[in-house]
Structure 1
Amino acid sequence: MPMSIIHNSLGTGKTASKAPSDRFTGDVWVDSAFSDGRRTVANVTFTPCARTNWHTHEDGQLLQITTGSGWVCDKGQEPRLVKAGDLVWCPPGTTHWHGAGAGCCMTHLAIGFGKAEWHQAVLDDEYSKGE
């Protein structure tokens, strides 16, 4: 199968939409580039303190932090600091969250593999363990 090129979609703002409040806390914008039912690619921008709910990806998720800094956290662990240039691999089936720190926005390129399953919101005291 030959390669595919997707022109002018990621980061253009033409596909950006506010993320749904049943999956995110705070103001989050998703600029979708690609989805085929098994893989999704999007730039996701989090305002300060905004974050995902707890969630899992059937076949894993890759995050590349492109601007700012924030937190990633596996269930049962402490939040870990990430900043522009970092790559994060979330293994298949791990329950985790990610989002911006209190002092700045964060954007990451998110590549999800397989079905995503969304869980409960990350509570403020869970989030603040990273601050």
Structure 2
Amino acid sequence: MMKLLATTAILFGIFATTQAFAESTEIFPAGSRPTAKGPEANFTGSVMIDMLYMNNEHTTNSGGLVTFEPGARSAWHTHPAGQVLIVTSGSGWVQEEGGQKRQILSGDVVWTPPGVKHWHGATDKNGVSHIAVSNVKDDKAVDWMEKVTDEQYLD
């Protein structure tokens, strides 16, 4: 009986601790943040962005789900602290300045180091979605540059 009481007390203590911790956990409900169209200055074609979370005093990155229709792509850009792309569906391309255009598929994870000029987006025939986790440095996650030309995109 004592063993049962001790186990119950331990479990209750764990439960009480978990409850206190859960109150400080934030939940950002699906649908609570509006979908935004990718700005024309930074994207070519139809691009939709669903911000998943923003950086705050406890995190040094932000994350968003970015969906590109076929032919859509980002402008050239860099990230001052790097970026991870987690491809969630479809088929896309990523290219570093001076490098080969490379295919990315659902399940692929792409790491772009700080300061590397690149673009990414859908292929010309298929759409692609990815979660972009952008590290933030000095309150900045991205430096946008010129648009990718049709010739660069299709080359």
Asked whether the two chains share a fold, i.e. TM above 0.5, the reply is yes
Q: Unmatched 5+ residue regions in structure 1?
A: none
Aligned to 1:22: 41
Q: How does 1:1-131 map to 2 (within 5 A)?
A: 4-9=25-30, 12=31, 14-36=33-55, 38-114=60-136, 115=140, 116-129=142-155
CA deviation after TM superposition for structure 1 residue 102, in Å: 1.2
Once the two structures are superposed, residues 95-130 of structure 1 have per-residue CA deviations (whole angstroms, 9 ceiling, x without a partner) of 11000011111000000112210000001111102x
Greater relative contact order structure (CA < 8 Å, 6+ sep) = 1
Tell which structure's C-alpha radius of gyration is larger: 2
Are the counterparts in 2 of residues 13 and 31 from structure 1 also a CA contact under 8 Å?
no
- Structure having the higher helix fraction is 2
Are the counterparts in 1 of residues 46 and 72 from structure 2 also a CA contact under 8 Å?
yes
Q: Percent identity?
A: 38
Q: Distance in 1 between matches of 2:82 and 2:144?
A: 14
- Structure having the higher strand fraction is 1
| TM-score, normalised relative to structure 2 | 0.76
Q: Unmatched 5+ residue regions in structure 2?
A: 1-20
Once the two structures are superposed, residues 66-94 of structure 1 have per-residue CA deviations (whole angstroms, 9 ceiling, x without a partner) of 00001000011111000000000000110
CA deviation after TM superposition for structure 1 residue 7, in Å: 3.4
CA RMSD of aligned residues (A): 1.8
Which has the larger displacement, 31-40 or 80-89? 31-40
Q: Which runs of 4+ in 1 moved over 6 A?
A: none
Counterpart of 1:126 in 2: which secondary structure? Answer: helix
- The residue type paired with residue 46 of structure 2 is D
Q: Distance in 2 between matches of 1:23 and 1:13?
A: 24
Counterpart of 1:93 in 2: which secondary structure? Answer: coil
Q: Report how many residues are paired.
A: 126
